[in-house]
């Protein structure tokens, strides 16, 4: 299940991607299994997506 114990290295994906992708380039995160809620917000934050900088569909 989703949560802090789910694949701990995934926590570093956002910082790693932001280190290689130029500023201003969009980053897309997709999941078919993570329901909206606290886990989704934690994933968005780990990807560096805060406030109005992202859209959940």
Q: Looking at the domain assignment, is residue 25 inside a domain?
A: no
Summary mean pLDDT of the chain: 81
Q: Which domain holds residue 38?
A: 1-20+30-57
CB 36 within 8 A of CB 56: yes
Domain count, the chain: 1
Q: Mean of the pLDDT values across residues 17-39?
A: 85
* Percent of the chain surpassing pLDDT 90: 0
Q: Angle at CA 15, nearest 5°, toward 14 and 19?
A: 115
Q: Looking at the domain assignment, is residue 3 inside a domain?
A: yes
Q: Looking at the domain assignment, is residue 15 inside a domain?
A: yes
Alpha helices (runs of H) in 1-57, residue ranges in sequence order: 13-20, 38-46
| Model confidence at 3: pLDDT above 70 | no
Q: Looking at the domain assignment, is residue 16 inside a domain?
A: yes
pLDDT at 48: 82
pTM for the full predicted model? 0.65
pLDDT at 2: 63
Exposed/middle/buried for 44, CB within 10 Å: 0-12, 13-18, 19+? Answer: middle
pLDDT at 1: 62
């Amino acid at each position: 299940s989703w949560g802090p114990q789910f694949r701990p290295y995934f926590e570093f994906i956002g910082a790693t991607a932001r280190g290689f992708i130029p500023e201003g380039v969009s980053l897309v995160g997709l999941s078919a299994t993570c329901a909206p809620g606290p886990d989704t917000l934690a994933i968005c934050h780990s990807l560096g997506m805060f406030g109005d900088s992202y859209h959940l569909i």
